[in-house]
């Protein structure tokens, strides 16, 4: 999956000795242990005036927003014809816990984790939630040390690369139809034809007609649904079928 591990490791190495990097991998369980040890040190009279280390949560807070921003921009620029709903769906897929945890593991972020004894015994370094957390806190550390461009490069090698070919998972018929016709200088128009009430529960159904022009020819299909957008999807699905351009869904 990750073809460019060497490049990624180089980016990681470039900030490995910084305070932000260290903080990015400190789990609270480790910090709590450290404090306990300090307390017993000070009780036994030894001095320890080092500032307490912070755990990764605040970096994770910042990293989450950095990751979201870069991912949104990536989607907005790569798929300018997507509807907002598709953009959101794709983003959700790209920044969800399982994705980040998977990437974190692939690129070896887990090995830097500082866990307390209990968390270590609990196999904390393999927990999806913790692995996803440190992906975000690492992104924040990278941003604070090296700036926006390097973050973009890092995400390009990880999250964005991972998303290749996943676009189908958020695909829908309306967008497919739109893109197909647009590429052929045609057009797609939806028109609300009416509503009807069905069933004992007097459910309202929307009836929509789509006018499809794929360049050389024009044809019409209709769809019904409990919302206008569902009716449009149905009409678009019929048109996509008629054009014989149905994509496989994964």
Contact present, 112 and 104 (Cβ < 8 Å): no
Note whether 190 binds its own copies by CB under 8 A: yes
User: Which residue from 4, 65, 98, 168 is in contact with its own copies, where contact means CB under 8 A?
Assistant: 65
The one segment of 73-81, 102-110, 160-168, 196-204 that binds its own copies by CB under 8 A: 73-81
CA of 87: how far to CAs of 174, 181, 229, in Å?
A: 14, 20, 16
Count other Cβ atoms within 10 Å, centred on residue 136.
Answer: 24
Note whether 76 binds its own copies by CB under 8 A: yes
Who contacts 148 (Cβ-Cβ below 8 Å, separation ≥6)?
A: none
133 tagged catalytic: no
| Cα first-last separation, the chain | 18
x/- binding map, residues 35-54, to its own copies, per CB under 8 A?
xx-xx---------------
CA of 182: how far to CAs of 56, 174, 186, 189, in Å?
A: 47, 12, 5, 12
The one segment of 4-12, 55-63, 106-114, 124-132 that binds its own copies by CB under 8 A: 55-63
CA of 144: how far to CAs of 27, 114, 140, 141, 180, in Å?
A: 19, 20, 6, 5, 43
x/- binding map, residues 106-145, to its own copies, per CB under 8 A?
----------------------------------------
Nearer to its own copies, 63 or 110 (CB): 63
In 107-226, alpha helices (H): 117-121, 128-146, 148-157, 159-163, 173-183
Nearer to its own copies, 4 or 92 (CB): 92
136 tagged catalytic: yes
The one segment of 56-64, 166-174, 198-206, 240-248 that binds its own copies by CB under 8 A: 56-64
Q: In the bound complex, what is the minimum distance in angstroms from residue 248's beta carbon to its own copies?
A: 26
- Which backbone phi and psi does 81 adopt, to 5 degrees? -95, -5
Catalytic position from the list 60, 119, 133, 136? 136
Residues binding its own copies (CB under 8 A): 35-36, 38-39, 57-58, 60-62, 64-66, 68-69, 71-73, 76, 80, 82-84, 87-88, 148, 189-191, 211
* Residues forming the active site: 64, 136
């Amino acid at each position: 999956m990750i073809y460019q591990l060497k490049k990624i490791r180089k980016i990681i190495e470039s900030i490995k000795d910084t305070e932000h990097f260290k903080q990015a991998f400190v789990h609270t369980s480790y910090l709590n242990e450290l404090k306990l040890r300090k307390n017993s040190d000070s009780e036994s009279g030894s001095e320890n005036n080092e500032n307490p280390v912070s755990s990764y949560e605040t970096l994770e807070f910042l990293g989450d927003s950095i990751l979201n921003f870069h991912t949104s921009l990536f989607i907005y620029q790569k798929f300018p014809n997507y509807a907002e709903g598709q953009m959101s769906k794709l983003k959700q897929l790209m920044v969800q816990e399982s994705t980040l945890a998977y990437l974190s593991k692939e690129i070896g972020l887990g090995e830097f984790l500082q866990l307390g004894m209990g968390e270590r015994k609990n196999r904390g370094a393999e927990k999806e939630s913790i692995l996803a957390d440190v992906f975000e806190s690492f992104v924040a550390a990278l941003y604070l040390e090296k700036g926006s461009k390097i973050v973009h490069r890092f995400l390009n090698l990880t999250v964005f690369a991972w998303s290749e070919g996943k676009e189908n998972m958020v695909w829908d018929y309306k967008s497919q139809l739109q893109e197909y016709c647009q590429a052929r200088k045609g057009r797609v128009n939806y028109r609300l034809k009416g509503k009807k009430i069905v069933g004992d529960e007097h459910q309202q159904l929307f009836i929509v007609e789509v006018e499809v022009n794929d360049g050389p020819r024009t044809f019409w299909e209709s769809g019904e649904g409990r919302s206008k957008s569902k009716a449009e999807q149905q009409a678009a699905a019929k048109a996509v079928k008629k054009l014989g351009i149905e994509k496989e869904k994964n």
